Structure formats: structure tokens, C-alpha cells
Amino acid sequence: MSSVSQLQSPTQDEIILAVNNVEVVFNDVILVLRGLNLTAERGKITALLGANGAGKSTTLKAIAGLLGSEDGEVSRGDIVYNGMNITEMSPEQRVRNGTFLVMEGRGIVQDMTVIENLRLGAFTQPQKNVAEDMEKVFTYFPRLKERTGLAGYLSGGEQQMLAIGRALMARPDLIMMDEPSMGLSPLLVKEVFGIIKRMNEELGISVLLVEQNANMALRAADYGYIMENGKIVLDGTAEELMNNEDVKEFYLGGGGNERKSFKNIKSFKRRKRWL
């Protein structure tokens, strides 16, 4: 892995999360992450981009400790959060320490109300925080306050907002989001990303944002990583990535639905040092 960034690396204190040389296997055989390295800076938005099947969701599940339920495990490397090695920590303990994953497909409970879903997010919090935090969530998502029915009847955008609101209830220092733009209209994507940016700026929450929508993600992010086949192939500031010719061509261009790979481009040999 090499960086296009010439800027100074963040210090240990500035790093909230470090994924060091992590390998993940499923069912003892399928190697999905192949020595993944990335860091997220405190108070910043870090984007993790890549095509279908690159290993983005697996990365987030490894950080959240949720591989076990799918018979996956971190077979090499470690994950350091706030200076603590959390590689073997239980998922609940990771939430108590301030991480929260907003899952792909949102994972809200369809046959519970908005309020009940929000309460679920507060499972690590003392009762006295709940009412206050709910009001805070409603300042970000005022629309949710008016929805008194079951969460299953919310629109896709509202469900995404509820999933993010539920994460806020855990008072996280680091929110991880798996494709928050999925299934949303362009207008809603813009709204959701605007809220993510506000949460980051107003509450100081660090964000690790997984997206296929590279355009939106890089516009919101400070720093970005691009992954292919379980490895990071390029990283840099959001601005550097947006201006990088290959990123433009393969991730930002309006080139239809076909997802291309760095491997297929002529400049691959020149760029091979990334891999």
C-alpha cells in the first residue's frame, strides 16, 4: 500500500482506530481480508470505498466483532481502538467502549416503533440518558418524531435515519456506516450525508463510512481508502482521491453500472506498487 498523500501522518493520539495487517477467514477456508491496513483519525470522516465483494462489510464486521455469527474470524493482525487492542473483545464491550456499526440494510426492528428502536440503541446507557438523547436524535431527524407507527412502515430514507439515530443513542465516539446511501433517492442521499457531516462537526463523532457511492462519500470525507480483493490499493485525502485520474475514471465517472477494477486498466503495471 502506498499513499498519494504527502502530508504528515497523524500521531498516535489522533488515531481513533487502526486496522493492522488484518486477515479474515470464513469457515476456516475462505480468505476475504488479505492483510488490510487502515486508520481512522479522531474527529474526522474516513471513507472506505470499493466495488461489490471487495470486503468492505467484512472489514466493518471485524471491527465491530460481528464475524463470529457468520463463522468468520480475524486470523491474523489486530484492531486497535483508542489505544486498546479490541481484536478479541466481545461486540457488546466494543459498543460500551464507544464504537457503533450501522449495518447494511439498516437492521432496524420492523415490528417495533421508532421509540422502541431508539431505546434498543441505548442498551449500554443508563436510563437517565435516554430521554435527553432521544431529543438529541429528533433534532437531527425531526421527521422521526412524527412517526408513531411501526418502523416497518417507514420509508427507506426514514429507516436509514432511524438506524443512524439508534447509533447516536449509544453515545458513540466512532460510528461505522455500511452504505448509508443504499436504496435512497439522490435527494435523500444528500440529506443523509448532510446529517452525517453535521453529527461529525457538532458532536465530534469520528466516522468510518463504507460506500459504493464514491462521489458522495468523498465529498463528505476527509480521508479515503480504496479497497479491492480484501486489500487497500490506494489511499489519500478526499481531495487527492477526487482528483486522481484513475479514481475519477473507475469510481467517480458516470460510466454506467459496470464496476471496473484497477487491475483492468492499462496503467495497472505502473500502479502495481499499490497492490
Positions in the binding site for ligand ATP (CB under 6 A):
26, 30, 32, 50, 52-58, 70, 72, 212
Cα–Cα distance, 252 to 250 (Å, whole number) = 6
Q: Taking the complex as a whole, how short is the minimal distance between the CB of residue 64 and Mg ion, in angstroms?
A: 13
Cα–Cα distance, 59 to 138 (Å, whole number) = 30
Q: Output 57 or 237, the one with its CB closest to Mg ion.
A: 57
Q: Output 55 or 172, the one with its CB closest to ligand ATP.
A: 55
Q: Output 34 or 42, the one with its CB closest to Mg ion.
A: 34
Q: Taking the complex as a whole, how short is the minimal distance between the CB of residue 239 and Mg ion, in angstroms?
A: 25
Q: Taking the complex as a whole, how short is the minimal distance between the CB of residue 261 and ligand ATP, in angstroms?
A: 13
212 binds, among ligand ATP, Mg ion, none (CB under 5 to 8 A by kind): ligand ATP
Our measurement of the distance from residue 18's CA atom to the centroid of its chain's CA atoms, rounded to an integer in Å, reads 14
Q: Taking the complex as a whole, how short is the minimal distance between the CB of residue 227 and ligand ATP, in angstroms?
A: 7
Contact by Cβ (8 Å): 81, 20 = no
Q: Output 24 or 134, the one with its CB closest to ligand ATP.
A: 24
CA distances from 62 to 93, 236, 256, 257 (A): 14, 23, 31, 28
Residues forming contacts to Mg ion in the complex (CB under 5 A) are 56-57
Q: Taking the complex as a whole, how short is the minimal distance between the CB of residue 47 and ligand ATP, in angstroms?
A: 13
Q: Taking the complex as a whole, how short is the minimal distance between the CB of residue 79 and ligand ATP, in angstroms?
A: 15
30 binds, among Mg ion, ligand ATP, none (CB under 5 to 8 A by kind): ligand ATP
3 state DSSP class of 40: strand
Q: Output 57 or 117, the one with its CB closest to Mg ion.
A: 57
Q: Output 56 or 119, the one with its CB closest to Mg ion.
A: 56
Q: How many CB atoms lie within 10 A of CB 62?
A: 24
Cell representation of residue 230: 480484501
Contact by Cβ (8 Å): 186, 140 = no
Contact by Cβ (8 Å): 101, 63 = yes
- Nearest residue to Mg ion, scored by beta-carbon proximity: 57
In the DSSP assignment, the letter for residue 21 is E
138 binds, among Mg ion, ligand ATP, none (CB under 5 to 8 A by kind): none
Pairing of strands 206-211, 45-49: parallel
Contact by Cβ (8 Å): 147, 114 = yes
Q: Taking the complex as a whole, how short is the minimal distance between the CB of residue 84 and ligand ATP, in angstroms?
A: 24
Cα–Cα distance, 111 to 63 (Å, whole number) = 28
39 binds, among Mg ion, ligand ATP, none (CB under 5 to 8 A by kind): none
Contact by Cβ (8 Å): 49, 3 = no
65 binds, among Mg ion, ligand ATP, none (CB under 5 to 8 A by kind): none
Contact by Cβ (8 Å): 11, 65 = no
127 binds, among Mg ion, ligand ATP, none (CB under 5 to 8 A by kind): none
Q: Output 57 or 181, the one with its CB closest to Mg ion.
A: 57
